[in-house]
Amino acid sequence: MLTENQRIFISFTLFGLLNNILYVVILSAAIDLVGASTPKGIVLLADVIPSFAFKLMAPFFIHKFPYVSRMWTILAISTSGMLLISLTPASSKVSKIVGIAVASFSSGIGEVTFLQLTHFYHEESSIGGFSTGTGAAGLLGSFLFLFMTTILGIEVWISLLIFAIVPTGFLFTYYLILPSPDLIVDQYEPIHTDEEEQIEIQSQEQELRSSFDFEKRPWYNKAIYHVYDTFKDIKPLIRPYMLPLLLVYISEYTINQGIAPTLLFPLDDLPHWLFGSYRDIYVVYGFVYQLGVFISRTSINFGIRFRQLYWMAVLQFLNVIITLYQSIYFDFPFPSVWFIIILTFYEGLLGGLSYTNTFMSVSETVPKNKREFSMGSVSLSDSAGVVIAGLLNLWLEMQLCSIQVSKGRDWCLTG
């Protein structure tokens, strides 16, 4: 028999795995979905903007929806998105982008939901499990896509169609594995334990009321107060948690979708069993990156902690500089693809450590009555970082490819 903490760990591991695996598969299939000549930043943006938009709005209304309703919504939307991606003809790029956006929206609902759900369970089992699951999603998703398409030779659309059945696992996990929560909270009710803080807040609210005709427009003022309170609760989270995570993800996805597609080497110099085309180099980078993410996201279960969150942002930015030089100068600083593979693995380690340690820090330092809200709000940072990187990559990848073509290396234009 499994203990309750073991069931919690397994449940949240599955939640993280199921929620993120489609996101990873879509990014791994970026070249196949839009072609080598289209910036992969387009796929990245379609795969994250809907999720980002949901996370941006979620703090204002998500508490109105029970968790069971969210589970069914995630199942319906994510399955629909994958069906649209896989069954749309290859020539219809717009429809594929729409399908990616639909799957992304579901992923956003899922990440907010499961991070908030950790509030009701033992933090090391729930957060550790979810972090492990998201890391495993990256590793398993990229490996399965690599194995199915590159090694087994299964057509891309069939591979994507198979992944459409994955979301059914949410209901299985929620109803059959996850233990009942220790407490139920239907709404975020602000609780202030500091008397001086309470007096200050009441003064601010009174000042805000005096700026509006409260009696004549109660619905309007109620909305204003709700927005005001929500922003007030988000503000303390920005500097210690949200900003460093944002910076890490900007650097991370600038490399993954903007620079990595141009980190290419002559196929004749590479082992043909692994690299049959230039497209395969990009897929291998994705798998190795996800391997690093998986290892670092599981590290929390072994008591490994890094509380200096800004240092990881600095180190990830250095990786951006290194890979930019590599893309422009081809054999500097690394003359072989294997060095790039090692760097990509290290990049994944930093990204996973940043994600895991950020949410563990939130769970350890934020007051309990604000923890559920804070977990969902901080999740906005990683999506915001990916959006910013995606917008930058629309220009960056094409610019780097143009530089390479001008130097006689046109590999970035092939698949």
Q: Give the H/E segment covering residue 344.
A: helix 337-365
Tell me 149's DSSP state.
I
Overall number of domains in the chain:
1
Is there a domain that residue 217 lies in?
A: no
Is there a domain that residue 221 lies in?
A: no
pLDDT at position 41 is 67
Is there a domain that residue 338 lies in?
A: yes
Residue 368: Cβ-neighbour burial (10 angstroms; 0-12, 13-18, 19+)? exposed
Is there a domain that residue 117 lies in?
A: yes
Residue 236: name the closest of 126, 48, 365, 148 by CA.
365
Tell me 226's DSSP state.
H
Name the one residue in this structure whose structure tokens are 């169609």: 161
What does pTM read for this prediction? 0.78
pLDDT at position 167 is 92
Q: Give the H/E segment covering residue 56.
A: helix 49-61
DSSP character string of 104-127:
HHHHHHHHHHHHHHGGGS-HHHHH
Handedness of CA 253, 284, 51, 235 (dihedral sign): negative
Distance CA 333, CA 94 (A): 38
Provide the CATH number for the domain around residue 62.
Answer: 1.20.1250.20
Is there a domain that residue 386 lies in?
A: yes
Name the one residue in this structure whose structure tokens are 């610019």: 399
Is there a domain that residue 53 lies in?
A: yes
Domain interval for residue 274 = 4-178+228-413
Tell me 335's DSSP state.
S
Distance CA 366, CA 378 (A): 12
DSSP character string of 155-190:
-HHHHHHHHTTGGGHHHHIIIIISPPPS----S---
Is there a domain that residue 294 lies in?
A: yes
Per-position b or e across 393-405, b if 16+ CB within 10 A of its CB: bbebbbebbeebe
Is there a domain that residue 197 lies in?
A: no
Please report, in tens digits, the pLDDT of each residue of the chain (415 residues total).
Answer: 788 889 999 999 999 999 999 888 887 777 677 766 666 667 778 878 898 999 999 888 888 899 999 999 999 999 998 898 888 877 777 888 888 888 889 999 999 999 999 988 988 899 999 999 998 987 888 788 878 887 888 888 898 899 999 999 999 999 999 998 754 443 333 434 455 555 555 555 555 455 445 445 565 566 777 788 888 899 999 999 999 999 999 999 999 989 999 999 998 888 888 888 887 898 889 889 988 999 999 988 888 889 899 999 999 999 999 999 999 998 778 889 999 999 999 999 999 999 999 999 999 999 988 888 999 999 999 989 988 998 898 899 999 999 999 999 888 887 5
Distance CA 61, CA 63 (A): 6
